Amino acid sequence: MAVSLRASRRIPFYSFLSRALSCSSLNFEADIKSTLFFVHNKALPLRPEPKDRNVQWVFLGCPGVGKGTYASRLSNLLGVPHIATGDLVREELNSSGPLASQLKEIVNQGQLVSDEIIINLLSKRLEAGEAKGESGFILDGFPRTIRQAEILEGVTDIDLVVNLKLQEEALLAKCLGRRICSECGGNYNVASIDIKGENGKPGMYMAPLLPPPHCASKLIQRSDDTEVVVKERLRIYNEMSRPVEEFYHQRGKLLEFNLPGGIPESWPKLLEALNLEDYEVKQSAAA
């Protein structure tokens, strides 16, 4: 698949994501069309579309696969914001806002937050970014249901969807080994994953990603990274989010990427798959 770094058109959709959501689910398609009709007829204030815009990419993949790690690295490389809806949910549940206790309960059970709440949090984040002059994005953890994918499709063009894949055995171990520095927010992993190849399936080794000494004493675990909850999150992914992969496959936007190992093995291969190897060399030279 050819991957383009710039796309030709952009619909600034932040202000009408929420409106799209308010469409009745009974006649969803017709409602989305009427929303777009409304938008195209300038009933809503549309900002002019720049000729070139930054990438609008989506990262899909099971919990623990590494969406955050690779989306964040690409966001630094391409200069676009990495927007993880899981982070938005965690910010909200750690706040003293009215949704905090409701969100805590949902997340700690491994369930999905309602489309309404997620769209609301995402719209606010995009609007705030727009106000700061951000353009483009790499979405991580959104869309997670077909309804979310339809809403997104109704309001903007997604250029590329990267579906990260890892052997199932590694996913649970990676979630259980995940650690976050409570001070700087850095992501680490204490798990050492060594899967032996058998029955034609390749083996895989992933070295731990250990924190630097100044973070080591400040590591915390996510409250939903327990064995019971991770298994539930994986079940929910298969039920609710797996169909989103097919949604984008049918639209010719899905890039399947099997992670060959940890970051040292996977990052160069991912850049190659995205036609970005030269881009990284140029960026490093310019730095």
Q: Which residues are catalytic?
A: 67, 144, 178, 222, 233
Residue 106 is a binding residue for ligand AMP (CB under 6 A): yes
Residue (110 or 136) nearer to ligand AMP, CB: 110
Over the window 213 to 232, marking each residue x when it contacts ligand AMP by CB under 6 A and - when it does not, the resulting string is -----------x--------
Residue 233 is a binding residue for ligand AMP (CB under 6 A): yes
Residue 248 is a binding residue for ligand AMP (CB under 6 A): no
Residue 234 is a binding residue for ligand AMP (CB under 6 A): no
Name the residue with tokens 């850095």. 186
Helix (H) or strand (E) holding 272: helix 263-273
Name the residue with tokens 């400040």. 218
Residue 141 is a binding residue for ligand AMP (CB under 6 A): yes
Q: Give the separation between CA 58 and CA 270, rounded to whole angstroms.
A: 14
The secondary structure of residue 160, as a DSSP letter, is: E
Residue 35 is a binding residue for ligand AMP (CB under 6 A): no
Residue 112 is a binding residue for ligand AMP (CB under 6 A): yes
Q: Which of 12, 61, 86, 177 binds ligand AMP (CB under 6 A)?
A: 86
**Cα pseudo-dihedral 37, 40, 41, 44, rounded to 10:** 100
Q: How do strand 178-181 and strand 187-189 relate by DSSP bridges?
A: antiparallel
Q: Give the separation between CA 247 and CA 243, rounded to whole angstroms.
A: 6
Task: Quote the least distance from Cβ 232 to ligand AMP, whole Å.
Answer: 9
CA distance from start to end of the chain: 29
Q: Give the separation between CA 164 and CA 256, rounded to whole angstroms.
A: 6
Residue 152 is a binding residue for ligand AMP (CB under 6 A): no
Residue (62 or 270) nearer to ligand AMP, CB: 62
Residue 63 is a binding residue for ligand AMP (CB under 6 A): yes
215: Cβ–Cβ under 8 A, 6 or more apart, which residues?
A: 181, 183, 184, 186, 188
Q: Give the separation between CA 147 and CA 213, rounded to whole angstroms.
A: 44
Task: Quote the least distance from Cβ 155 to ligand AMP, whole Å.
Answer: 15
Residue (112 or 204) nearer to ligand AMP, CB: 112
Residue 66 is a binding residue for ligand AMP (CB under 6 A): no
247: Cβ–Cβ under 8 A, 6 or more apart, which residues?
A: 146, 149
Mark the segment that binds ligand AMP (CB under 6 A) among 4-12, 42-50, 102-110, 264-272.
Answer: 102-110
33: Cβ–Cβ under 8 A, 6 or more apart, which residues?
A: none
Residue 179 is a binding residue for ligand AMP (CB under 6 A): no
* Site residues (vs ligand AMP, CB under 6 A): 63, 85-86, 89, 106-107, 110-113, 118, 141-142, 144, 148, 224, 233
